[in-house]
Amino acid sequence: MSLPLVRQALPLLIAVAAACSASVDSPDAGPPSLELGTGTRDFEPLSDGDSIFIVQGPQGGYHFFGSLRAQNIEPGDSEDLSDPRNPQTTFEAFVGANRVDSMASSYRQGLEVSGGYAQMIGRQVILDILDDDELDGMTVRLTVSIEDASGTQLTDERTLMAIKHPDNQ
């Protein structure tokens, strides 16, 4: 590339570099953070004491919907499940010290980047129960943990009231 072309392209390259530095995985943007939520289409924040639905799945099992949003972590590539930069995310559910999820709610996939957050929306936290009555009205501790490609590890949890979804059979 000739020197005049480099000079013309330089402002564009600087703008692109500045935009990249403001991404969710930029270490200059602040400390890494993780927030547990729920929702199937959009992130819905959860606070301790909130209710969470026990949802009956199409095969008869039960689950919660877990979601997360994070900042200042490596989000990986949400379009490529095999990308080695994809973070490992695990949701767990407890009643007291007893784990009530089926230990099958772990995901290695990239997060969607939107609105300054890296997000994972509407993942099933599969429950190890035969009937939603087993957890209905119980206090459940829902947790999420994530480890990104750079080794950043974060966890968040909420203490919630489990209730039957009104559409359950």
Any idea what the CATH number is for the domain that residue 122 is in? 2.60.40.2550
Residue 12 belongs to some domain of the structure = yes
57 in any annotated domain: yes
pTM of the model: 0.82
In the predicted structure, residue 79 carries a pLDDT above the cut 70: yes
Residue 106 lies in a domain: yes
Instruction: Give the span between the Cα atoms of 130 and 54, in whole angstroms.
Output: 12
Residue 169 counted as domain residue: no
Residue 27 counted as domain residue: yes
Task: Let me know if residue 158 belongs to a domain.
Answer: yes
Instruction: State which residues form the domain around 86.
Output: 3-164
Q: What is the pLDDT of residues 112-129, one digit of tens each?
A: 999 999 999 999 999 999
Amino acid, res. 93: A
Task: Note whether residue 92 is domain-resident.
Answer: yes
